[in-house]
Amino acid sequence: MAVGRGSAGLMPLLGIRPALGRLWGPEGEVPGRDREVVLTHSLWQRLYGADPSVLGQSLLLDDVSHVIVGVLPESFHFELEVEVWKPLALDALRDRGNLLRVVGRLRPGVSVEQARAELLPLTLNAESIPGEPRVGVSVEPLHAYSVEQSRTQLQVVTGVAVLLLLLGCANLTNLLLARGSARMHELAVRIALGATRLQLVRQVFVESAVRAAFGGGGGLLLALWGRGLLQTFVPPQFMSGPGVAPFVPGLTVAVSLVTAVLVGLLPALHASRGDARAVLAPVTRGVRGATSLGWTRSALVVVQLSLALVPLVGSGLMLRTLWKLQAVPLGFEPRQVTVAEVFFPMETFPDEARAAAVAQALTARLEALSGVDAAGFTGALPFSGEVWRETAGFHVAGAPPPSGTPPRAGYVAASAGAFRAMGIALKQGRLMEAGDTAGHPPVVVVSETFARRYLPGRDPVGARLQLHGDGAPREVIGVVGDVPMERISVAPSGDLYVPLGQDMRKSLNLAVKSSLPTPQLLALLRQEVRAADPNLRLLNVRPLDSVVEASADRVRVMGGLLTAFALLGVVLASVGLYGLLAFWVMQRTRELGIRSALGATPRGLLRLVMFQGLRLAGLGLTVGLVGAGLLAHALSAMLYGITPRDPVIFVGAPVLLFLTALAASWFPAVAATRVSPAEALRQDT
């Protein structure tokens, strides 16, 4: 399970009070005394069945016993993946390697820009201290940090869901109008027998409300079932909790009421406007509904087709982006590579030299195993993300210092085995070796992009770089291929790789290339890590392939949701168009029979009906392109390798929907050609 660490002031700062028990205090920040934990509400329910007597029980984390002292409220979702919180002891600050998130509350009147300006000089001063780690700062509002990354996706999904709701309302309204037209004779009889128009409106409206209520209830049940289905293919970080949020039932009731109004209003008003004498007249009973309702129902079908095009275009853009991302050169080979996190506890490894020696010995033990091709450590894996990416300021030694802000590059502490395990190509020079330790000349390996950008027109091997925070300049000993370290959609900007022996970290990623089955390799990893030092902690073992797949999770999830919405929208719009044309043919059976009797050919009748359907399709697609353009603009930040106005999608999606409309129009058109003139002329006689 994921464990979060926080100082004693974190929860009070966020205004969090425990639902059960208490929070940890400042005494837990002392090394060796951080053995109290607080559970999240979801873990408390899942693991302990919401048992109040959980307080005081022990919980084993990394083979260390901890005492449960509290349970967080159900509404707490600061870090979605974290299930257990414990104190952030001083030794944990060292174990975390290169990243620490600090949460603070600004004084009244102080802006984020002012806070950022005050913190920046502190980081620059830290970089000027020889031997100190490279320090950077990123200041942003907590709301932006926790929500902003998903804001666009949430807005898009919500907007498309509303469009589908409107599409469904238009579809149901059309069906009710058709049913109302078929009931015109019944309603006219009611009026003739003394029923008021208000009574008719109330009857039709109540029928719509009952349908909406059943639809809302069914939708809620479908949501409960569908959430479990979503969990099978949506990564857990996209799910907000174990169940449906408490506000969903209330929202369902509200949506059902709105749907009842939207769906029932037009049919109810139409039912109250009928002319009883005209409807009861035998001559007009077969055709009156078709002429008076044609424009209304046609407009609703145009709306359905335009709304269906919007998610179809969005789905196409996401799928095209996913296809483009799959063609991006990775710069490494993830197949048969297993990665894991290894922690070197501060109390066991107080000095970096001993930790580096143990890491080197563990690497040698792993590479000596049969079935293991290569193994090594690295401070950062590909696609680590912008937040986790450490950078360093630098300048070329011997060259005039750059004016203004000095350039920065990605900074990774690694061993040569990590490059071999992940298949990162050596382009020039050599990789770091066992002898590249703190007592030897400082060296660095650079990426191809770094060499092109900062060492142009010269042999990069042998160049000397002064890294801010280092004492002596580092000699470039090799050049390796580019690897996207932030996101798969972000081109490499240049990276620096320093030997672990010269900058050892307490938290590292272990990469092992092996053809062994996963269970066997996992057992060997645990065995060898324990043999190297029983105090080492092995966590989060997973295939490197999963890291690559996770890098495109947002695009994949958004593409899947929009594709599902698009399919539903196309089906609803097609059914709506088919229903309208089928109703049109049924209402005009007499007219079609007369046309046939007067010499109209089946081809002519087919063309007549098809023209009606394709005319509506053309209008709907024209209007829908406007909405599709707005959605494409909202998705622009998630696109890769294509523009928001990608011609393949903006031509292909309308063509696909037009062909669907063509198929929906075909069957009613064929039915029109089979109308018998004799049977049509005998109607209503």
Question: In 3-state terms, what secondary structure has residue 438?
Answer: coil
Q: Picking from 68-72, 252-256, 528-532, 547-551, which range would have the lowest pLDDT averaged per residue?
A: 252-256
Q: Phi-psi category of 49—alpha, beta or left, where left has phi over 0 and alpha has psi -120 to 50?
A: left
Q: For 450-466, what is each residue's pLDDT tens digit?
A: 999 999 888 999 999 98
Are β-strands 372-378 and 507-514 bridged in parallel, bridged antiparallel, or unpaired? antiparallel
Q: Picking from 266-275, 358-367, 636-645, which range would have the lowest pLDDT averaged per residue?
A: 266-275
131 pLDDT higher than 50:
no
Q: Which residues contact 652 (CB under 8 A, 6 or more apart)?
A: 316
Bridge partners of residue 538, in order along the sequence: 342
**Tell me, what DSSP letter sits at residue 85?**
E
Are 592 and 605 in contact, with CB atoms under 8 Å apart?
A: yes
419 pLDDT higher than 90:
yes
Model confidence at 287, in pLDDT bands (50, 70, 90)? very low
Rounded to whole angstroms, the Cα distance separating 552 from 559 reads 11
The total number of residues shown for the chain amounts to 685
Tell me how many degrees the CA angle 184-186-192 measures, rounded to the nearest 5. Answer: 100
Are β-strands 372-378 and 337-343 bridged in parallel, bridged antiparallel, or unpaired? unpaired
Average pLDDT of the chain? Answer: 80
Rounded to whole angstroms, the Cα distance separating 132 from 124 reads 11
Q: For 527-541, what is each residue's pLDDT tens digit?
A: 999 988 888 888 888
Q: For 203-216, what is each residue's pLDDT tens digit?
A: 777 777 787 778 77
Model confidence at 229, in pLDDT bands (50, 70, 90)? low
Rounded to whole angstroms, the Cα distance separating 647 from 374 reads 46
Percentage of the chain beyond pLDDT 90 is: 19
The encoded tokens of residue 623 equal 């209007």
SS (H, E, C) 294-308: HHHHHHHHHHHHHHH
Q: Whole-model pTM?
A: 0.72
**Tell me, what DSSP letter sits at residue 572?**
H
602 pLDDT higher than 60:
yes
What type of residue is 411? Answer: Y
Rounded to whole angstroms, the Cα distance separating 69 from 174 reads 59
Start-to-end CA span in the chain (Å): 78
Higher pLDDT pick, 191 / 379 = 379
Tell me how many degrees the CA angle 293-295-296 measures, rounded to the nearest 5. Answer: 65
Please choose, from the candidates 451, 476, 448, the residue with its C-alpha nearest in 3D space to the C-alpha of residue 331: 448
Model confidence at 650, in pLDDT bands (50, 70, 90)? very high
* Residue 270, pLDDT score: 65
Question: In 3-state terms, what secondary structure has residue 529?
Answer: helix
The encoded tokens of residue 113 equal 């820009």
Higher pLDDT pick, 405 / 80 = 405
Q: Picking from 324-338, 396-410, 543-557, which range would have the lowest pLDDT averaged per residue?
A: 396-410
Rounded to whole angstroms, the Cα distance separating 52 from 46 reads 13
337-357 mean pLDDT: 83
Q: Picking from 262-276, 489-503, 550-564, which range would have the lowest pLDDT averaged per residue?
A: 262-276
* Residue 415, pLDDT score: 92
* Residue 96, pLDDT score: 43
Higher pLDDT pick, 681 / 477 = 477
Residue spans per domain, the chain: 2-143, 144-327+553-682, 345-535
* Residue 80, pLDDT score: 60
487 pLDDT higher than 70:
yes
181 pLDDT higher than 70:
no
Please choose, from the candidates 431, 528, 447, 434, the residue with its C-alpha nearest in 3D space to the C-alpha of residue 491: 447
289-307 mean pLDDT: 73
484 pLDDT higher than 50:
yes
CA atoms within 13 A on the CB side of 247: 3
24-42 mean pLDDT: 81
The encoded tokens of residue 190 equal 């009611």
244-251 mean pLDDT: 66
The encoded tokens of residue 552 equal 């495109």
Are 318 and 558 in contact, with CB atoms under 8 Å apart?
A: yes
491-512 mean pLDDT: 88
291-313 mean pLDDT: 81
33 pLDDT higher than 50:
yes
651-656 mean pLDDT: 94
608-628 mean pLDDT: 90
DSSP per residue, 473-541 = PEEEEEEE-----S-TTS----EEEEEGGGS--SEEEEEEEE-S-HHHHHHHHHHHHHHH-TT-EEEEE
54 pLDDT higher than 50:
yes
The encoded tokens of residue 586 equal 């049924």
